[in-house]
Amino acid sequence: MTVNKHKDIIINNYTDYDEDSRLVKDRAHNMEYLTTMRYIQKFLKPGAKILEIGAATGRYSVTLAKMGYNVTAVDLTPRYVEIMKRKSRRLKNFQCMVADALDLSMFKDNSFDLVLNFGPMYHLFNQKDKNQAIKETIRVAKKNGVCMFAYISNACFMTDYGLRHDKVEYLCSVMDDFGKIRDIPEEIFATFYIENFKKLFIKTKTKYITNIATDGIAPAMREWVNQLSKKAFEKFLHWHFITCERLDQQGYSNHLLYICKKLK
Residue 225: which H helix or E strand, with range? helix 222-227
The Cα–Cα gap between 44 and 48 comes to: 7
Q: What's the pLDDT score for residue 63? A: 96
Residuewise pLDDT in 10s, the chain (264 residues): 457 777 777 777 787 777 878 889 999 999 999 999 999 999 999 999 999 999 999 999 999 999 999 999 999 999 999 999 999 999 999 999 999 999 999 999 999 999 999 999 999 999 999 999 999 999 999 999 999 999 999 998 888 888 988 999 999 999 999 999 999 888 889 999 999 999 999 999 999 999 999 999 999 899 999 999 999 999 999 999 999 999 988 988 999 999 999 997
Q: Which residues pair with 206 in a beta bridge?
A: 262
Backbone angles phi, psi at 255, to 5 degrees: -120, 140
Element (H, E) at 9: helix 7-15
- Cβ burial, residue 261 (10 Å; 0-12/13-18/19+): middle
Which residues are 210's β-sheet partners?
Answer: 259
pTM exceeds cut of 0.85 = yes
**In whole angstroms, what is the distance from residue 214 CA to residue 23 CA?**
12
Predicted local distance difference test score (pLDDT) of residue 160: 83
The pLDDT value recorded for residue 249 is 87
Domains of the chain: 7-262 (3.40.50.150)
